[in-house]
Amino acid sequence: MFEDAAFRALSGGLDAMWQKQQVAGHNIANVETPGYKAKKVQFEQVLRESEEKGSPVTEYKTVVSTDEETEARPDGNNVQVEKEELELWQSYLQYSALTTRMSGRLSTLKYVINNTAK
């Protein structure tokens, strides 16, 4: 059951959304730190690359990288609070949706266990 590809995908998604929330919070906390470069989490790209190769997704990794594309302020910091707040909100919504889906899968399993043992 816990080796099921769908279960692993849900679990990996939950881990990734949690990490996105942590990184966005860390970026917001460092908005006034001179020279700080915002970090970003990439998860979907790993899934797309695996799909393009035609192989099943067996590992779920997140990649945390430094945002070098966003223009920095005069103090060298490139954190955009509005962008980070939006990222935080989106990852929260995705985490909530994945939690609901995981709960549904576990409820189904509980139902099957409770009703087939008789």
Q: How confident is the model at residue 50 (pLDDT cuts 50, 70, 90)?
A: low
Tokens of 3: 């080796």
Quote the mean pLDDT of the chain.
85
Q: CB-based burial of residue 1 (10 Å sphere; 0-12 exposed, 13-18 middle, 19+ buried)?
A: exposed
Which residue's entry shows tokens 């990734």? 16
At residue 118 the predicted structure's pLDDT band, cuts being 50, 70 and 90, is low
Give the number of domains in the chain.
1
24 is in which domain, residue-wise? Answer: 5-116
> How many whole angstroms separate alpha carbon 65 and alpha carbon 42?
8
